[in-house]
Amino acid sequence: MRGSYDHEEAAHNAGSLSEPAYLATAQHFDSAETMRATAAGEREGWVYARRGNPTVGYLEETVAALEGYQVDAEVSAAVTTTGMAAITLATMPFLSTAVGDKPNIVASPACYGSTVMVFDKRYGDERGVSVRWVDDPLSIDSWERYIDADTRFLYAESPSNPTVQLVDIPALAALARRARIPLIIDGTLATPALMRPLGLGADIVVHSLTKAAGASGRSMGGAVIARRDLDLRGQPAEMCADFAGYLRQGPMRDMGSVLSPFNAWTLLADIRELRARVDTMSASALRVAEHLAGRGDVVEVFYPGLPGHRTHHLAKRDMWLVDSGGPGRGAVNRFGFLLGFRPAGGVPAARRAMDRLGLVWRANNLGQVKSTATIPAIGTHLQVAGDDPGDAPVPPDMIRLSVGLEDADDIIEDLDQALAGSDVTGRRSTSAAGTVAGIAADPAE
């Protein structure tokens, strides 16, 4: 997982074991010709920090190595200021009217609130793009019905925030290939430690590096990772050849969404421990989810590691701790660090439980080393919580919990006292057996 920073590269940096932080905005050149050749891309160099920086480059190569691990394809990456910048840059280039004047996109409604806003408001209302939210993200027929000659891409989070619902990536990839459009997956919640969508057939993956990749909570960042040589209908050859490179050389350079070298440096330090950290956090999250599912005052738990979750079968198939299989041991399923639950008693009970948390931090972030909780309907998804639940279904009484590195018993003890203090008892809803994000569960699952 060292990317391009190997022994030879370290020798050029005074033998430093860690990537150096190039906290500079521009590079000096020994001649005008060297400046010209570097700016033209004819020789190695970085010219100006908006166009690139060595520390940022190390992070891009590391992220590409992680997401491209065991993937039978060449992969490249571009890192951005935030996860939302990554989502915007990964999708916007496909909406050019040069390809057709009535573009549409087909997406899962189980998305982060800001993603919904970008698609509905920035693309839909402001640019006239038709946004087609599928009725049931697990129904391939539902996706296929919306695809036509003007569809530019398919988009889904897997798992989704906050309902931790997966999609069938190989099946969606087959649809995208037939239509010669890209399948774009937000893989933030799984991280490359548990799932690499490119290996399942996706064309482009986006991440918020602010989350588990940057678990110390010191820096924001995002990433776009893509296969090279994409076979896409009507798109420019240079964009298909190296999509991430195209972003760096064009949209990112022109619009100024490049990550700062300092943030890249702190993210490089955090990402080294990604596998071990996600392993521990995921194991604890399963224990917490199982405990909450056994409480009579919790009416519903959202966690793909629970057999009753509607997408448990996909999680069992696709979410594996990387390199956990080996001689004498089998591969290990891990289902991520994020879960959600609904206390009996509705919104008042959820707010009381939130206010009583002692160990768990009340914060609108996830994937951190510290456990955090929020009520998405009044936090991360406030902008869309009042919309049609078929578009952005977020239960108003759902508490989203990101399990950190604290001892699982301590997290459970904190949740128990918070729930006990809500003074509400209730009967477990039948929806706890599998209803996720307002979509009826298949009784067979």
Establish if 440 belongs to a structural domain. Answer: no
Establish if 327 belongs to a structural domain. Answer: yes
Same domain, 332 and 234: no
Establish if 445 belongs to a structural domain. Answer: no
Q: How far apart are alpha carbons 365 and 367 in whole angstroms?
A: 7
**Distance of CA 361 to CAs 201, 287, 309, 357, 404, Å?**
37, 19, 26, 7, 10
Q: What is the pLDDT of residues 359-412, one digit of tens each?
A: 999 999 999 999 999 999 887 766 665 544 344 468 899 999 999 999 999 999
What's the DSSP call for residue 366? Answer: -
- At residue 256, the pLDDT reads 87
Same domain, 354 and 333: yes
**Distance of CA 391 to CAs 118, 298, 348, 385, Å?**
13, 25, 25, 10
Whether 431 shows a pLDDT value over 80: the answer reads no
Q: Pick from 247, 271, 295: which residue ends a domain? A: 271
CATH classification at residue 409? 3.90.1150.10
Same domain, 45 and 179: yes
Q: Are strands 75-80 and 104-107 parallel, antiparallel or unpaired?
A: unpaired
Same domain, 111 and 13: yes
Whether 351 shows a pLDDT value over 80: the answer reads yes
Establish if 19 belongs to a structural domain. Answer: yes
Same domain, 413 and 373: yes
Query: Given pLDDT bands bounded at 50, 70 and 90, which one contains residue 2?
Result: low
Establish if 438 belongs to a structural domain. Answer: no
Q: How far apart are alpha carbons 395 and 379 in whole angstroms?
A: 12
Query: Given pLDDT bands bounded at 50, 70 and 90, which one contains residue 14?
Result: low
Q: Rounded mean pLDDT of 14-39?
A: 88
Same domain, 364 and 346: yes
Q: Rounded mean pLDDT of 261-277?
A: 96
Same domain, 83 and 120: yes
Number of domains in the chain: 2
Q: Pick from 244, 271, 298: which residue ends a domain? A: 271
Same domain, 172 and 287: no
Same domain, 136 and 226: yes
Whether 423 shows a pLDDT value over 60: the answer reads no
Q: What is the pLDDT of residues 319-337, one digit of tens each?
A: 999 999 877 778 999 999 9
Identify each DSSP E strand in 117-212 by its residue range.
Answer: 130-133, 151-157, 183-186, 204-208
Establish if 441 belongs to a structural domain. Answer: no
Establish if 322 belongs to a structural domain. Answer: yes
Residue 285 domain boundaries: 274-433
Query: Given pLDDT bands bounded at 50, 70 and 90, which one contains residue 1?
Result: low
Pairwise pLDDT comparison (422 vs 63), residue with the higher score: 63
Same domain, 136 and 233: yes
Q: Pick from 236, 256, 271: which residue ends a domain? A: 271
Same domain, 220 and 344: no
Dihedrals phi, psi of 164, to nearest 5 degrees:
45, 50
CATH classification at residue 161? 3.40.640.10
Same domain, 151 and 205: yes
Asked whether the beta carbons of 238 and 248 are under 8 A apart, the reply is no
Establish if 444 belongs to a structural domain. Answer: no
Q: What is the pLDDT of residues 142-190, one digit of tens each?
A: 999 999 999 999 999 999 999 999 999 999 999 999 999 999 999 999 9
Whether 193 shows a pLDDT value over 70: the answer reads yes
- At residue 437, the pLDDT reads 34
Q: Rounded mean pLDDT of 297-302?
A: 96
Q: How far apart are alpha carbons 368 and 372 in whole angstroms?
A: 8
What's the DSSP call for residue 186? Answer: E
